[in-house]
Structure 1
């Protein structure tokens, strides 16, 4: 079956993971404050992107099915949700909190068939256990602007932090924001 994929995310990690899955895709982001909708309905992110596609005339009838993939990731550490840090100080606090401890990562994926309206969603959880992270490593990580652009302030694939990861329970791709097996299953279910 022939279909197009639109990835509704600006995440470099999600782009890489979808490429690794063998898919070609286009990008579209919602340009909305995800924090403001997180506690309501995850479908609102997809709806915002669908609205943008309609306003641009990109949802015209076609014989080919189009799938919109949206995803969200939150980190939970010491009972607190850790979204994208709002400042370098908050990023530093987040990372210090992981030192010698652990964090849970919950990633959700929603696949919307733009032709039929069918939606399939799911989530996956992984846990990351950390060795003690030295202050100088935390300082270096915080100075990298990436810490302000990712949930929890850390990217697992960063070589600087990787050596302080004791164990990952679950899949690395779930931690990176797009669980491959879950996403593949949802794509097939949405078709």
Structure 2
């Protein structure tokens, strides 16, 4: 595997993103990394007793493990690095996942408007043979503008909230709903790239 720049991978390492998310794909691409995508079909149900940090870290690991288990024999397990990631929105201790439908999106956005919530992203970097595993997370506070129901419905009508945790996308039209953030912007998008770059170095993958 080759890549441009002055900091190549160690010889023979393959990097896999265990996600079909176009947002994570673009962020990883923006880091100048060469990688493959193998979508994870891991079960995303977790125990209700888990904290937000535990939820995202557990699911990030689970997604990476699911891809490791399904790797074709052509991949050398000790030379293949897998990235798993998970993002959730938390308001007053309640985890807001992806909306079931437009009514659910309305419920979430009405609860979030005029309030500050937290976004957690967990990241797992794992060699396919599980000989090297690193799991961390980041938290970002997001303040959303006050909005009436009419404005929220107009946003829902764009279709953007349908597959987003918390029913909004900070990198899309949803940016107009945000008053400000405290922390890592890319964490809210779905992949804290600064954290990930640190985590990849022990695996022989250096960004700069």
Q: Is TM more than 0.5 here?
A: yes
1:139 partnered with 2:153? yes
1:18 partnered with 2:28? yes
CA RMSD of aligned residues (A): 2.1
Given candidates 40, 45, 65, the residue that maps to 1:35 is 45
Aligned counterparts of 2:199 and 2:147: Cα–Cα separation in 1: 37
- Which position in structure 2 is the counterpart of 1:163? 176
Given candidates 91, 110, 122, the residue that maps to 2:124 is 110
Displacement of 1:166: 1.1
1:89 partnered with 2:103? yes
Displacement of 1:144: 3.6
1:49 partnered with 2:67? yes
Cα distance change of structure 1 residues 189 and 133 upon mapping to structure 2, 3 Å threshold? farther
Q: Once structures 1 and 2 are overlaid, which stretch shifts more, 23-32 or 68-77? A: 23-32
Does the 8 Å CA contact 1:75/1:152 hold for their aligned counterparts? yes
Partner of 2:45: helix, strand, or coil?
Answer: helix
Aligned counterparts of 1:36 and 1:166: Cα–Cα separation in 2: 31
Aligned counterparts of 1:108 and 1:131: Cα–Cα separation in 2: 26
Q: TM-score, normalised by structure 2?
A: 0.81
Partner of 2:65: helix, strand, or coil?
Answer: helix
Displacement of 1:58: 3.9
Displacement of 1:12: 1.2
Aligned counterparts of 2:197 and 2:109: Cα–Cα separation in 1: 31
Displacement of 1:32: 3.1
Displacement of 1:5: 1.2
Q: TM-score, normalised by structure 1?
A: 0.87
Aligned counterparts of 1:134 and 1:177: Cα–Cα separation in 2: 27
Displacement of 1:23: 0.8
- Which position in structure 2 is the counterpart of 1:175? 188
Does the 8 Å CA contact 1:120/1:190 hold for their aligned counterparts? no
Partner of 2:135: helix, strand, or coil?
Answer: strand
Structure 2 unaligned runs (5+)?
A: 1-9
Displacement of 1:118: 0.4
Structure 1 unaligned runs (5+)?
A: none
- Which position in structure 2 is the counterpart of 1:100? 114
